[in-house]
Chain A
Amino acid sequence: MNLDAFVAILGIPALAAAALALIPGYRLSAGLNVAASAATLAAAASLFLVRPPGGLYLRVDDLSVVFIVLSAFVGLTTSVFSASYIAHEVEIGRLTPARLRFYHAMYQVLMFAMNLGLIANNIGLMWVAIELATLTTVMMVAIYRTHEAIEAAWKYFILGSVGIALALFGTILVYVAAQPVVGEGLPGMVWTRLIAAAHGMDPALLNLAFVFLMLGYGTKVGLAPLHAWLPDAHAEGPTPISAVLSGLLLNVALYAVLRFKMLLAANPGAVAPGPLMIAMGLVTLIFAAFMIYRRRDIKRMFAYSSIEHMGVIAFAFGMGGPLANFAGLLHMTMHSLTKSAIFFNVGHIAQAKGTQTIADIRGLTVTHPALGWMLTAGVMAIAGLPPFGIFTSEFLLVSSTFARQPLLAVPLVFGLIVAFGALLMRLQSVAFGEPSPGTARVSASYLPILGHLALVLAAGVFFPPAITQWFQHVARLLG
């Protein structure tokens, strides 16, 4: 295989991982980490210009490019943030050098796995990649070796494995359904062939397969009632990982679900996957919205907010149609950017205040104005207030839903309001009021946070026509 974007996208992280596993000093390794991520982003961006020809294993299309570039970008900003974050962790001795090497290596492995999952043209390969991503994150969640961390990792691990198993069963079923049409062997798993021949497959098998795939990959997406691992994993792992989890891994899993949704949609006999996604989306949204109220740990709270938004996105794609799909894509992008920005912010806050307990963080805008106001902006954005991008997507989603299916819009709006109330309540107690002790300055890197927020703001005010057409095109693809 000649050297093309694929090789770059997969090779750079792999090599970087190998190298990082050996480099001791954290300055150097952090730098290399950033460099590698930057190179990956460059390679990913090149996909806009030149598309390497797809093979039996790898391929990109308009849909996956969106995801790839997004994950490469967030991967880069996260690596920048992680540099300063890890520095602090090393200072206070939470991370030993050995674990640091491990951490950086794993970070690149994760990037590798996610890119692989996104550009895989082969459902088996995609499955392997996502399993790899899961294992990596499990180990990174457990990196602090505290009771809570191990418990969270264990929970994540068990539930994740079951999810993976279900997904595999679904994959096998898809193959079984495809095999009579496409033929035995490798072709029976190649995405492009599957989608081409979908109409001829056995609908009953496809339905069965989608049930397993929805549940299997849905566990990764964090849809209720499969979400249980997500909050703890976010809360107990290092913050950069929380950011990557919320910002990227959930998207990758969602991407898989979307793929198979397209497959079912292409088959006339199969049941429409929309209602299932709508139902799970609504359940997830409302459940997560209520769960936010009682949270005491700030990272866990935002993890639940991620679950809530995943519910919204699943709902959007379940609704289908140009407007709703557009809204779904936009919402996904905006959520990745915003939520990772929030986690960056929260990481610094936790370091400054020395705690993650919401009750002990008060009056941030007084003690740490920059962090406090950025957090306020981030929460406003994530809560769907203009002029941030999420407002745009929620505007499109709610209005179009109400025009098409008024009864579905009611629970949607209900969930949104409940979640808003919860987030606002917490935000006010964290950012305003009499400040709590703990005024330590942190060597925070505001650049990633500001960058993300700026992008989200820009998307809310001015959405470039080029990207608009791109999204509209993809929305049409999704049907």
Chain B
Amino acid sequence: MGLIGAVAVQGGQMALVLALAPALTGLVRKVKARLVRRQGAPLLQPYRDLWRLMRKEVVLAESASWLFRAAPYLIFAGTWVAAALVPTFATGLMFSWSADLIAIMALLGAARFFLALAGMDVGASFGGIGSSREVMIASIAEPAMLMIIFSLALLAGSTQLSTVASYMLSSNVGLRVTLALALVALMMVAIAENARIPVDNPATHLELTMVHEAMVLEYSGRHLAVIELAGFLKLLLYVSLIGCVFVPWGLAPAGAPVQAHLIGIAAYVGKLALAAVLLALFETAVAKMRLFRVPAFLGAAFMMAILGALLLFVSRGGLR
């Protein structure tokens, strides 16, 4: 297939993630509603919300600066580029070498950096609450994520996601304690990063509990829409990350024929649906925890990740 194929795959991927992200969130909401015996909004409601928000006028606080207006687009761009570099249905992404896993996480970090700044820009007290809590959570979640990456990179001998995925597909993986630890830690981090229950509850505006919502409190109209979209994308990104690392089956290798890619897409959608159901189940099962329990929760993830990495450092077998 060559270059055209690569371009096609890359482009398709970017379009796909953008297209599927709201649906994923919609599905999660739907399933949650059903689980508590509610009808729930239709699956496509998120698309409608976005479209409506985009057409609304922006109400901007007087004290808001240019940073406040620029931030949403930067956040969206960072998240989108990151999401575009995570293999979803095929590993042969054209630009996968332009950023490895560490860089992807750093991109998300940059997005968060600007989100936190935006939260402080208006100069209202709630924004401050949100930002300070957000950076506190991030200060533990990010190192945990990095240690997870260490484990994977040491296993696969690479921080390049496509390489990791193909290594996971290969036969010589086997069952490893490290992988289990990494998976659990990664899930915990994903929950925290996407402001899901039990760490944060996206559905409330109760100042005692809210983190993410407090930062975007002052946003409205298209800005809010873009930020929301970025949030959807982030959730999708983490799901597809878990997917391509731990359940890489169905991924179309580089240069595979078209039908392989079609299979890959189908498998991917399947994975997303499964993940949504699981997430919904989990969220309805557990209760939101107090803010200052969160560090313990994430600290556990951090410790697990370190443990996983340590095991690899100590046992030399299977390392490249």
**Do A and B touch directly, given a CB cutoff of 8 Å in the complex?**
no
List B residues at the A interface (Cβ < 8 Å): none
